[in-house]
């Protein structure tokens, strides 16, 4: 067997070398052209290649029987330059220039590549209009122009591309309308043109003659009807028309498409009923039609779509009751029916959907009471029932909602008192809102256990008694509102209370103390000093709490784009979906962004590593980090995120792009995302593995791993490394959202790399995700101005960096019990002179007493740290300046 292979190889080798002679002139041509291309694009990997056979150069594939270049793949090398020369490779069948920085027009001469079947120019900066010459590429099967700055209209000449099966041009600035000829492309399977400026109607023959499986036109200015034709061939799998001006009704013919898995038609002007035929689409996973003018009842036929994961009909004119049959939807994760005119009671069967994660029935006319079954499904994370006509008491069973992140019960007619079980919802963090009801009685002490909660609103009720001092356990609190109740007594001394505006406490006749102007007479003195010195464990909880808050948001956002990616991948590989492996999880999607690591990373091995507890490096509430040994010998760190949110919102493709772009930001002091994998409902993020762990461990954990001598030079070089990483981020206009010593990783040479950079790009606060408000960074690192600006800025980063530098200098945690209540590391250091302490008493004596030189350096670095942590943002130095100042120390 092996000999046979060998023989074939030898014969093949002979054959090709004889061919080399035979086709000499052709190959010489290609070599010359390739060398010129290599020069123009500065391809170092070609010029350094000594192999005389250019067919073996990176990115080149020649035809089997000659040295004719048939495929050229230069994707993902960050290239610039003039690509016109490539059109000299006349016999090219496939050209992939995606993920580079090419700009200027797409060369007209590409129209000369008459044998081209695949052309991928996506993820570049090509501008001006699509050249009409591309219409001459008669053999083209796949054309990808996505993610450039192309403008003008889609040229009619492309109508000649009869063989076109996949046409993608999303995220450009193309205007005009979708040409009628698109409907004549009988081979078309995939057509995406979302995020452009297309207007006019969707051609009413689109899909009528073709195998159309994926149609994605969201975020354009399309008008008119959703044409019946797109459902006529019954092949459609994914339909995304969100965010246009489409009108008319939803065609009943959509019921023909048994394979439809995703329908997203929100943010249009559609009216009429949802056709009952929706129940015929048993494969339906997502149905999103929010923000339209749809009306009638919510059809019970949805209950037949047993794979339904997300149903979003918010902000329409639906009336009637919620079908109890929805209780059969075991895969349902999000049911969003807010802002309609629904009435009746909260349907108890729906509460038992075992995967339900988000239930949003707010702003309807629901009546009845909140049923005790409310959290019989303990997975619920979002329960939004505000602005209804709900009566009765809040059931004690609310305490079963242990996973809840947000509870909105405001603006109802709820009576009775606040059940103390509310303190069992220890994960509550986004908001607890019981405002504008008829609640009576005292505030339960147990509220103090909600140490992750950011926003609390009990306003406009009839609550009585004191604000219990135990509420000071709510260490993450930022917004609070107790106004318009009958509360009395002294407002406890607690920073979030005193920092609030007085309107948070107004309308309570008996309340006194700050921030209200009414003083409390002689109760004052005793109340103020009695709660010091018991902060430690709470502070630790708060640290965990805020890390979790960041993590939730990150996880949610990361999953959002991954699920979207997975959805699109699924469509693209619809044919290949059959390959299923028994016993091990099927990998649904995955990508390694860094080209030269593709070989080294084995997805199966990464997945397998996460199945073994012994590989665990780090466990958090929402993610677990594993060490994964690849068959290639490489070790990677795998961050496993649990699926928790499947909301599909606009512009996630931008986030995929960001992640990929970020993976190209190479700086020695930044951790780059290497790739991701999705299987079942699990998402894995791949990073480099760092055997020396985090800076936090290095400084604060004395384990065997970190059994090293006090070493100031190493610490200083770590400090400089972190500063350089951040200076680079600021240079490319990226603000880090969670700088802490726990997010600084150390490689085998103790070179410092800043991690979690991706969250900064994935979380775009302008997108208004609810959980964004919970992002402030880690406790102890949050700049003071954040309390009122709610925005992380470059000077805010400098502050957080200053805290890291103080940790390095003092070997103390950013918050320690020893500092006293309300005093963190920054305050402790800044107030040292006032306490009569010298800087030497602040610095880690194990280091500063080693030598005069070290002590001098440390005092100089302390000056930098003090400047960085100045309470006035404008007075803090720029990150670049920090690097300079620290470098000065080493001289």
Q: Say whether residue 301 binds ligand NAG (CB under 6 A).
A: yes
Judged by CB under 6 A, which stretch of 271-279, 466-474, 502-510, 720-728 contacts ligand NAG?
Answer: 271-279
Judged by CB under 6 A, which stretch of 105-113, 471-479, 576-584, 663-671 contacts ligand NAG?
Answer: 105-113
Q: Say whether residue 19 binds ligand NAG (CB under 6 A).
A: no
Q: Say whether residue 81 binds ligand NAG (CB under 6 A).
A: no
Residues 472-501 that bind ligand NAG (CB under 6 A): none
CA distance 623 to 637: 12
Catalytic residue, from 457, 738, 824, 844: name it. 738
Q: Are 274 and 303 in contact (CB under 8 A)?
A: no
Q: Are 864 and 841 in contact (CB under 8 A)?
A: no
Q: Say whether residue 507 binds ligand NAG (CB under 6 A).
A: no
Closer residue to ligand NAG in complex, CB, 140/829: 140
Among 19, 53, 80, 109, binds ligand NAG (CB under 6 A): 109
Which string of b and e fits 62-73 if b means at least 16 CB within 10 Å? beeebbbbbbbb
Q: Say whether residue 48 binds ligand NAG (CB under 6 A).
A: yes
Q: Are 40 and 81 in contact (CB under 8 A)?
A: yes
Judged by CB under 6 A, which stretch of 103-111, 363-371, 491-499, 532-540 contacts ligand NAG?
Answer: 103-111
CA distance 227 to 766: 33
Pairing between β-strand 190-192 and β-strand 214-216 as defined by DSSP bridges: parallel
Closer residue to ligand NAG in complex, CB, 174/757: 174
Q: Are 197 and 221 in contact (CB under 8 A)?
A: yes
Among 59, 104, 371, 392, binds ligand NAG (CB under 6 A): 104
Judged by CB under 6 A, which stretch of 108-116, 610-618, 671-679, 861-869 contacts ligand NAG?
Answer: 108-116
First to last CA, the chain: 66
Q: Say whether residue 517 binds ligand NAG (CB under 6 A).
A: no
Residue 307, Cβ density class (10 Å: 0-12 exposed, 13-18 middle, ≥19 buried)? middle
Q: Say whether residue 53 binds ligand NAG (CB under 6 A).
A: no
Judged by CB under 6 A, which stretch of 21-29, 276-284, 476-484, 804-812 contacts ligand NAG?
Answer: 276-284
* Phi-psi region at 387: left, alpha or beta (left = phi > 0; alpha = psi -120 to 50): left
Tokens found for residue 446: 């147990």
Q: How far is the CB of 458 from ligand NAG (least distance, A)?
A: 43
CA distance 528 to 36: 78
Among 19, 53, 139, 175, binds ligand NAG (CB under 6 A): 175
Among 59, 155, 224, 279, binds ligand NAG (CB under 6 A): 279
Q: How far is the CB of 870 from ligand NAG (least distance, A)?
A: 45
Q: Say whether residue 84 binds ligand NAG (CB under 6 A).
A: yes
Based on the residue annotation, tell me whether 30 is a catalytic residue of this protein.
no
Give the closest residue to 43 by CA, choosing from 6, 74, 3.
Answer: 74
Closer residue to ligand NAG in complex, CB, 104/320: 104
CA distance 696 to 44: 39
Q: Say whether residue 50 binds ligand NAG (CB under 6 A).
A: yes
Q: Say whether residue 585 binds ligand NAG (CB under 6 A).
A: no
Spatial strand order in the sheet of 623-629: 587-592, 675-679, 682-688, 635-642, 623-629, 616-619
Among 111, 496, 513, 802, binds ligand NAG (CB under 6 A): 111
Q: How far is the CB of 383 from ligand NAG (least distance, A)?
A: 26
One-character DSSP codes across 817-846: GGG-TT--HHHHHHTTTTTT--HHHHS-HH
Q: How far is the CB of 264 from ligand NAG (least distance, A)?
A: 17
CA distance 729 to 731: 5
Q: For residue 811, what are the contacts with CB-CB under 8 A and spacing of at least 6? A: 699, 700, 844, 846, 847
CA distance 768 to 648: 13
Q: Are 661 and 638 in contact (CB under 8 A)?
A: no
Residue with the closest Cβ to ligand NAG? 144
Q: Say whether residue 283 binds ligand NAG (CB under 6 A).
A: yes
Pairing between β-strand 752-754 and β-strand 744-746 as defined by DSSP bridges: antiparallel
Q: Say whether residue 190 binds ligand NAG (CB under 6 A).
A: yes
Q: Say whether residue 80 binds ligand NAG (CB under 6 A).
A: no
Q: For residue 575, what are the contacts with CB-CB under 8 A and spacing of at least 6? A: none
Q: Say whether residue 296 binds ligand NAG (CB under 6 A).
A: no
Residue 499, Cβ density class (10 Å: 0-12 exposed, 13-18 middle, ≥19 buried)? middle
Residues 396-435 that bind ligand NAG (CB under 6 A): none
Q: Say whether residue 307 binds ligand NAG (CB under 6 A).
A: yes
**Coil vs helix vs strand at 525:** helix
Among 16, 53, 108, 139, binds ligand NAG (CB under 6 A): 108
Give the closest residue to 179 by CA, choosing from 161, 138, 126.
Answer: 161
Closer residue to ligand NAG in complex, CB, 163/283: 283
Closer residue to ligand NAG in complex, CB, 51/517: 51
Q: Say whether residue 503 binds ligand NAG (CB under 6 A).
A: no
> In three state form, how does the secondary structure of 840-869 look?
HHHCCHHHHCCCHHHHHHHHHHHHHHHHHC
Closer residue to ligand NAG in complex, CB, 216/743: 216
**Coil vs helix vs strand at 458:** coil
Closer residue to ligand NAG in complex, CB, 112/355: 112
Judged by CB under 6 A, which stretch of 178-186, 216-224, 533-541, 585-593 contacts ligand NAG?
Answer: 178-186
Q: How far is the CB of 612 from ligand NAG (least distance, A)?
A: 25
Residues 114-153 that bind ligand NAG (CB under 6 A): 120, 122-123, 133, 142, 144, 151-152
Closer residue to ligand NAG in complex, CB, 301/697: 301
Judged by CB under 6 A, which stretch of 275-283, 416-424, 463-471, 666-674 contacts ligand NAG?
Answer: 275-283
CA distance 144 to 98: 9
Q: How far is the CB of 240 from ligand NAG (least distance, A)?
A: 15
Angle of helix 712-731 versus helix 794-810 axis, rounded to 10: 170
Q: Say whether residue 61 binds ligand NAG (CB under 6 A).
A: no
Q: How far is the CB of 334 from ligand NAG (least distance, A)?
A: 17
Among 132, 180, 600, 770, binds ligand NAG (CB under 6 A): 180
Judged by CB under 6 A, which stretch of 168-176, 427-435, 743-751, 829-837 contacts ligand NAG?
Answer: 168-176
Spatial strand order in the sheet of 103-104: 103-104, 125-129, 149-151
CA angle 207, 210, 215 (to 5 degrees): 45
Among 19, 80, 112, 462, binds ligand NAG (CB under 6 A): 112
Q: Say whether residue 295 binds ligand NAG (CB under 6 A).
A: no
Contact set with ligand NAG (CB under 6 A): 48, 50, 64, 82, 84, 98, 104, 108-109, 111-112, 120, 122-123, 133, 142, 144, 151-152, 159, 166, 168, 175-176, 180-181, 184, 190, 255, 276-277, 279-280, 282-283, 301, 307
Active site residues: 738
């Amino acid at each position: 067997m092996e000999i046979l292979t060998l023989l074939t190889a030898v014969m093949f080798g002979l054959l090709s070398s004889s061919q080399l002679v035979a086709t000499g002139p052709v190959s010489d041509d290609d070599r010359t052209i390739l060398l010129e291309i290599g020069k123009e694009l500065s391809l170092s990997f070609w010029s350094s290649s000594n192999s005389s056979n250019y067919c073996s150069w990176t990115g080149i594939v020649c035809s089997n029987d000659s040295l004719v270049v048939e495929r050229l793949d230069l994707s993902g090398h960050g290239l610039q330059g003039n690509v016109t020369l490539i059109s000299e490779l006349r016999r090219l069948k496939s050209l992939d220039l995606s993920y580079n920085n090419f700009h200027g027009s797409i060369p007209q001469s590409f129209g000369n590549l008459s044998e081209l079947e695949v052309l991928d120019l996506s993820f570049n900066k090509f501008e001006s209009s699509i050249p009409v010459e591309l219409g001459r590429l008669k053999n083209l099967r796949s054309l990808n122009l996505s993610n450039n700055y192309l403008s003008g209209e889609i040229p009619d000449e492309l109508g000649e591309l009869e063989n076109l099966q996949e046409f993608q041009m999303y995220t450009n600035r193309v205007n005009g309308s979708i040409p009628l000829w698109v409907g004549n492309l009988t081979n078309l399977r995939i057509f995406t043109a979302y995020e452009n400026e297309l207007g006019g109607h969707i051609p009413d023959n689109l899909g009528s003659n073709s195998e159309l499986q994926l149609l994605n036109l969201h975020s354009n200015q399309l008008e008119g009807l959703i044409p019946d034709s797109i459902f006529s061939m019954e092949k459609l799998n994914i339909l995304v028309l969100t965010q246009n001006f489409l009108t008319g009704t939803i065609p009943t013919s959509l019921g023909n498409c048994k394979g439809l898995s995703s329908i997203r038609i929100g943010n249009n002007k559609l009216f009429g009923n949802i056709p009952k035929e929706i129940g015929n689409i048993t494969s339906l996973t997502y149905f999103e039609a929010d923000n339209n003018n749809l009306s009638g009842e919510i059809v019970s036929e949805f209950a037949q779509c047993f794979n339904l994961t997300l149903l979003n009909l918010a902000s329409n004119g639906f009336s009637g009751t919620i079908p109890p049959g929805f209780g059969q939807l075991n895969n349902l994760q999000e049911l969003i029916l807010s802002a309609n005119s629904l009435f009746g009671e909260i349907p108890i069967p729906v509460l038992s959907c075992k995967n339900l994660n988000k239930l949003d029935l707010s702003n309807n006319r629901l009546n009845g009471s909140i049923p005790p079954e409310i959290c019989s499904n303990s997975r619920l994370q979002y329960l939004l029932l505000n602005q209804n006509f709900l009566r009765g008491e809040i059931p004690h069973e609310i305490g079963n909602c242990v996973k809840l992140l947000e509870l909105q019960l405001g603006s109802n007619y709820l009576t009775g008192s606040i059940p103390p079980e509310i303190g069992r919802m220890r994960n509550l963090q986004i908001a607890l809102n019981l405002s504008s009801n008829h609640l009576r009685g005292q505030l339960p002490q147990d509220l103090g256990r909600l140490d992750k909660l950011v926003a609390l609103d009990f306003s406009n009720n009839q609550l009585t008694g004191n604000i219990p001092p135990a509420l000071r356990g709510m260490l993450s609190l930022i917004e609070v509102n107790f106004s318009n109740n009958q509360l009395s007594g002294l407002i406890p001394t607690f920073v979030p209370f005193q920092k609030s505006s007085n309107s948070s406490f107004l309308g309570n006749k008996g309340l006194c103390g700050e921030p209200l102007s009414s003083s409390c007479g002689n109760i004052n003195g005793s109340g103020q000093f009695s709660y010091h010195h018991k902060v430690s464990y709470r502070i630790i909880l708060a640290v965990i709490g805020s890390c979790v808050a960041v993590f939730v948001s990150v996880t949610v956002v990361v999953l959002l784009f991954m699920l979207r990616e997975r959805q699109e991948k699924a469509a693209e590989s619809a044919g290949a979906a059959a390959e299923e492996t028994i016993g091990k999880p099927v990998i649904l999607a995955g990508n390694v962004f860094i080209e030269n690591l593709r070989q080294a990373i084995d997805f199966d091995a990464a997945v397998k590593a996460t199945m073994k507890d012994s590989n665990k490096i780090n466990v958090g509430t929402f993610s677990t980090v594993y060490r994964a040994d690849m068959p290639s010998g490489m070790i990677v760190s795998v961050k496993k995120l649990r699926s928790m949110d499947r909301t599909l919102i606009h512009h996630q493709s931008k986030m995929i792009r960001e992640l990929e772009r970020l993976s190209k930001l190479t700086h020695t002091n930044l951790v780059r995302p290497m790739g991701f994998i999705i299987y079942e409902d699990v998402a894995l993020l791949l990073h480099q593995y760092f055997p020396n762990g985090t800076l936090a461990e290095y400084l604060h954990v004395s384990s065997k791993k970190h059994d090293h001598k006090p070493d100031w030079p190493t610490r200083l070089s770590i400090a400089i490394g972190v500063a350089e990483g951040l200076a680079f981020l600021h240079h490319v206009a990226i603000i880090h959202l969670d700088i802490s010593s726990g997010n600084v990783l150390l490689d085998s040479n103790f070179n410092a790399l800043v991690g979690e950079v991706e969250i900064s790009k994935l979380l775009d606060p302008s997108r208004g995700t609810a959980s964004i408000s919970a992002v402030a960074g880690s406790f102890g690192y949050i700049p003071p101005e954040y309390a009122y600006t709610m925005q992380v800025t470059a000077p805010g980063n400098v502050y957080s960096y200053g805290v890291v530098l103080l940790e390095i200098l003092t070997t103390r945690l950013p918050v320690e019990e020893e500092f006293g209540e309300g005093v963190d590391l920054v305050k402790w250091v800044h107030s040292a002179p006032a306490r009569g302490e010298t800087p030497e008493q602040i610095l880690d004596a194990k280091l500063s007493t080693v030598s005069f030189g070290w002590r001098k350096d440390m005092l100089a670095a302390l000056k930098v740290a003090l400047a960085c942590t100045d309470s006035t943002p404008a007075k803090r130095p720029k990150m670049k300046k920090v690097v300079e100042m620290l470098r000065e120390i080493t001289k």
